[in-house]
Amino acid sequence: MRQRIRSAGRWTWIGGLMIALVVAGCASPAGDAITVRVDYSHDEFNTQFIQYFPDQIQVHPGDTVRFVQDWTGEAHTVTFGTAVREALETNRPLIEQYGHLPEDQVPPEIFEQFLEAECTLPVLFSECEGPPSESEAAGEAEAAGTEPEEAFPPIDQSIAQPCLIEEGAIPTDGGPCPNQELGAFDGTEAFYNSGFIGFETDRENVFNLEVSESIVPGVYPFFCAVHGSFQNGVMEVVPADQPIASPNEVNEQTREELNEVVEPFRQVFAQAQGGEIVMGGEAFSGNFSGLVDEQVQGLLNEFVPETITTEVNEPVTWLMFGPHSISFDVPEYFPIYDVQEDGSVTANDEIFAPAGGAPEIEEPEDPTQPLVIDGGSWDGSGFWSSGVLFSDAYVQYTLRFSTPGTYRYACLIHPPMVGTIEVSG
């Protein structure tokens, strides 16, 4: 399934995806390394942010930068290289200037300029036509009928796994990169990709970037090859004899930036707990499955209220903002992605499809219209899932329960996102 997801009113692409993979721990944390946070889950409510915090850092040659990712269900990479540099240098200022606007308010020539650059970037689920970033293997497999129509496209292994291309083009065959030993980053590499930062803990998933002693001072942009140039940052290498911000000062800046992006979510969360939110001038009330805010490049991943009480065969309706599923009796181990013994990263197609008798998802012809689905009834036993649903507007999903009981449910692409239904007879 390929989704164009306009998150929180921004013209970006967020492959609504999640990864549950375990990789061996990286090198031990460098003592005085600068830390960049990748994504962020707030401690008062679960969130995800398709951003780096901070998105501008200064380092010295020979430094190590710790990229530390919170586990929100989303996969991210840290990707540098001369092959991606130009596109990032074009798009970063465009995003800074226009990124907060809804797509239809961005001047068409700007949008075109953005797309042209974006389409030269290797991005996991690109919507650009043809190479380089589209996995050609996906199209071929579909054409040959070897993949079910709704299956997740194959994962491009040169994005999912570490990849170093010293010179020349980035592979587009979907296979693993011949060289996965990154070594220190010297700034001359064509493609220098961390691969998916693997799951270790909720808070401490680390990619250590070693900056080479021999790197030429200057500006090195980077981005996430899962989410495209909207998730970007810049590392400035400063000569060793010039001062830069200390790791503590960087952390303080990070904290400030996080507080800033969380604040609008705090407000919409409080509204939802009160039973009503206002989005784009429209009021919505009821049960919420995920929340967004127009100002924020991110998602608030909570079911609100956390517990819903209902009666047998009474309809329960959720309003869903952002991509989510409503899933009962979830198998204990149900990763979105898995790492195979040979290191290849594979997707679990079952995550995205309806299960247990839930209706097939028909995407609306006009993606700006809400997606309204009657999920029927669940009898309280066996894995049941709405499938992962998304609409640019919102999804309205209704389900009934034919058996009294207390049921836990979850969103399959956002691991911390869980709720309870109490059904009385």
Judged by the rule CB under 5 A, the positions of this chain that interact with Cu ion are 301, 324, 411, 414, 417
DSSP state of 350: G
In angstroms, what is the minimal distance from the CB of 195 to Cu ion?
A: 24
Q: Is beta strand 56-59 parallel, antiparallel or unpaired with respect to 228-237?
A: parallel
Closer to Cu ion at the Cβ: 60 or 324?
324
Mode of pairing for the β-strands spanning 371-378 and 395-401: parallel
State the nearest-atom distance from the C-beta of 41 to Cu ion, in Å.
12
User: To the nearest whole angstrom, how small is the minimum distance from the Cβ of residue 93 to Cu ion?
Assistant: 32
Alpha carbon distance 80, 220 (integer Å): 7
Question: Rounded CA gap, 219 and 205, in Å?
Answer: 25
Separation between Cα atoms, residue 38 and residue 67, nearest integer Å: 6
**Are the C-beta atoms of 122 and 137 separated by less than 8 Å?**
no
Q: By C-beta, is 119 or 417 nearer to Cu ion? A: 417
CB 320, min distance to Cu ion, A: 8
Q: What is the DSSP letter of 78?
A: -
Q: How far is the CB of 356 from Cu ion (least distance, A)?
A: 18
Rg of the Cα atoms in the chain? 22
Closest distance to Cu ion from the beta carbon of 314 (Å): 24
For residue 239, cis peptide bond before it (omega within 30 degrees of 0)? no
User: Is 302 within 8 Å of 333 (Cβ atoms)?
Assistant: no
Select 10 or 414, whichever has its Cβ closest to Cu ion.
414
Tokens matching residue 355: 């299960």
Which of 208/301 has CB closer to Cu ion?
Answer: 301
Of 87 and 262, the one with the shorter C-beta distance to Cu ion is 262
Indicate the residue whose CB is closest to Cu ion: 411
- Closest to Cu ion by CB, 197 vs 395, is 395
